[in-house]
Amino acid sequence: MRYVTPLLFVCVGVVPVSGQVLVTGEPGGSGAHAVVVTANLISVKDFGTLKNFWAEYGYGLTDRVDIFAAYGVITVFGETQHYVGGGSNIGLLQRRRHGLDVSFFNNVSVPITRRDEAATVLGTFAFVASRPVKIGSLPMTPYGGFEALVPVGHRARGVFTPVETLHAVIVGAAITLSKTWTAFVEYDPGPRLRSGGAGIAVTLPRK
């Protein structure tokens, strides 16, 4: 199951994603929808490095709430697990009033295969803050925050999921390439967990 700040990336008017958190503090808005594809590496102290790939679809349920669903594949020690997940990104503060966009990101995933080597459910919960800027003519949205990965049920089975709750800082950026395409990168350092990843978000036309 996706260990890192889990998929759907809410950047500059699209919807969020998970794997790491890979979201900004600004929800995409009512009716917005996007598809995100990502890849990341997750390093857990005294354990090993996991390779995590996932794709996610996100939809703007309201102006402040994005919801999403994801499918992923994670590999470690030559073994592979498939999983599904879903969650939301909920806007708490808006920059027009508070100077920053702040959101609460939440995601839960469950294993489809190798269930005896993972917790029953893996939750990712994060607070994320962001503000759009321009570097020359390039618009981008730096974001940051902190997250907790919480395994629920059968923690001792942890191969694809941690056996205890892990915490990390979130440092990332969403880079607007066009009205349709957004690239993003993220690095999440923590005392026992370090992860890095990149992805691409495709904003779909509003219906």
151 lies in a domain? yes
Is residue 6 included in any domain, yes or no? no
Token representation of residue 121: 């459910």
- What is the spatial distance between Cα 108 and Cα 118, in angstroms, rounded to a whole number? 13
Mean pLDDT for all residues in the chain:
85
Query: Is 17 within a domain?
Result: no
Question: In percent, how much of the chain has pLDDT > 70?
Answer: 90
What sections of the chain are H helices per DSSP? 95-98
φ/ψ (deg, to 5) at 167: -125, 150
Indicate whether 87 belongs to any domain: yes
In a domain, 98, yes or no: yes
The residues pairing with 154 across neighbouring beta strands, listed in sequence order, are none
Structure confidence by residue, pLDDT tens digits, 97-149 = 999 999 999 999 999 999 998 999 999 999 999 999 998 888 999 999 999 99
Q: Is the pLDDT of residue 10 over 60?
A: no
Q: Quick one: tokens of 89?
A: 């990104």
* Residue 161 pLDDT class (50, 70, 90 cuts): confident
pLDDT band for 158, please (50, 70, 90 cuts).
confident
pLDDT in tens, 163-183: 889 999 999 999 999 989 999
pLDDT at 207: 63
- For residue 83, being part of any structural domain is answered with yes
Number of domains in the chain: 1
The pLDDT value given to residue 47: 83
Question: How do residues 189-203 score in pLDDT, each as one tens digit?
Answer: 888 888 888 999 998
CA 205, CA 13: separation in Å to the nearest integer?
A: 12
Selection from 84, 161, 61 nearest residue 118 by Cα? 161
Distance separating alpha carbons of residues 113 and 111, to the nearest angstrom: 6
Tell me the C-alpha distance between 115 and 200, whole Å.
Answer: 29
Domain that holds residue 75: 33-204
CATH code where residue 164 lies: 2.40.128
Say if residue 12's pLDDT is above 80: no
Q: Whole-angstrom Cα distance, residue 189 to residue 200?
A: 22
Residue 2 lies in a domain: no
22 within a domain of the structure (yes/no): no
Q: Does pTM surpass 0.75?
A: yes
Average pLDDT for residues 7-34, to the nearest whole number? Answer: 62
